Structure 1
Amino acid sequence: MSVPVPDPQAVRAANVAELSRLGLPLPPEQFPLVWEPGDTVELRPTGELEARVAVLHLVLARCFGMPAEAGMGWLLGSHLVEMVTPPEWQFVAGDRGDHRSFVLHHDAVFALAWVLGLTRHLDPTAPSDDRLMARLPNLPAGETFTQWRARSLAAPRGAVEVAAVLDLYYCLDWAYLEAERQGLRLPGMIDSNAIGQRRWALEWAVVFRGPFHDPPAGWEEVDLST
């Protein structure tokens, strides 16, 4: 269900203050807002969020040694083949693609798990929750997508809360890249790659409605260029 967005200027001011607290470079004054007054916001359907977590988790398992036949069998048995993007399918089925880029998706999974209420924090200075793996499908045990959904009992966060954190990660993405460009010390244990993956997941999970927003993008179509 779509709800009114919070004041974008107030959210941005709070997030810039957080960047300042972390000792990160601050974005320029003309840095774009994520939404405008009068827009509405919602999350993608819970089942769609869960399916994306499960697919990315399966892709990561292939990165770390799960055989292609087992991966494809799990997707078929969980009825998730149609949720796999073409690059993901090429990697799962034939090891084609950039292995390193798929490994980085761990932080995208973490962000989506946070959206679903499966993890306690999305701290930009810290790696993923150490309990994250236990809250994802148990692939070695053959836990299907349906079985995992019944076990995990996702409770998605409010769309307004997730939107505010998206704005924070939008600013953090710029700030981390700028800090690395300047050779500055980062405030925590992760780098711009992890921040970018988390932003990617949040950008995909949040749906804005308004005159300046396009229809929801596919996973591979999320624009992180600004």
Structure 2
Amino acid sequence: MNYFLVMLSDWRFSARDFKHRLLTRWPHATLHEAADPGSLDCFEFELPMAHSKLVGALRRDGSGIAFDGDLRDVAEFALWCRSFVPEAERLHFCDEGVSGQLDLTPHTSPADLFRLFDYTPPPPGWRNYSLISRPQWDLPPHEFAQHLCLRWPSAHVQLEPDTHRHRTVSFQVPMVHSSVTGALCRPVPSLDFTGDARDCAALALWCRSVLLAEQVSVSSEGRFLVLHSTTTVEDFLRALGAPPS
């Protein structure tokens, strides 16, 4: 998902100043000047952060920044940008589907941004996972909820009737090592979930078995795995994180 910082007043980011601040804060950042002088962006950047590689671009006119990464890193980056924008100027944060948006102030916290997307950071030792099927998610929300309840009768599953909400289905599934919680999310349907890695592996492989998509993949903290009918829990753990010791 892409996120945006948009200036809603006359103040603008200076490309030169922004580069200097970026490299001071993240010395190992990678910057690329835009090859096309007519492009909307003047340069792109990659930041190695705690949970992902955050990738972004500064608009040529200084009116905003587009970026993507783990939401924890997204929140840190957005609030860092807010820290050097004059307090009286309006800096707006939103995602590409405009399902979460907020004017940032010097007092905005990461928790304020997490609430926009009903996001809860995982406990120590747990990871957040995102499962996507291509070319499209082929199960309507109500059918996915039914399949989930048939597989795990003790699961707590809630359909969200409000079409403007980020989530369409929320669930909590009691499993062997943890209770896996997650949601089917808009705008491009993805299944976001967290729990013990072994239980998350079992959930992901079950999803692979009920989806008819050409490709089903899972990502977590910058790592990526395409699921096949032969993929095992051990394959998942090797690629996306071993269980806590």
Q: TM-score, normalised by structure 1?
A: 0.29
Bigger fraction of residues in helix: 1
Q: TM-score, normalised by structure 2?
A: 0.27
Q: Return the structure number with greater relative CO, CA threshold 8 A, min gap 6.
A: 1
Flag the structure with larger Rg. Answer: 2
Bigger fraction of residues in strand: 2
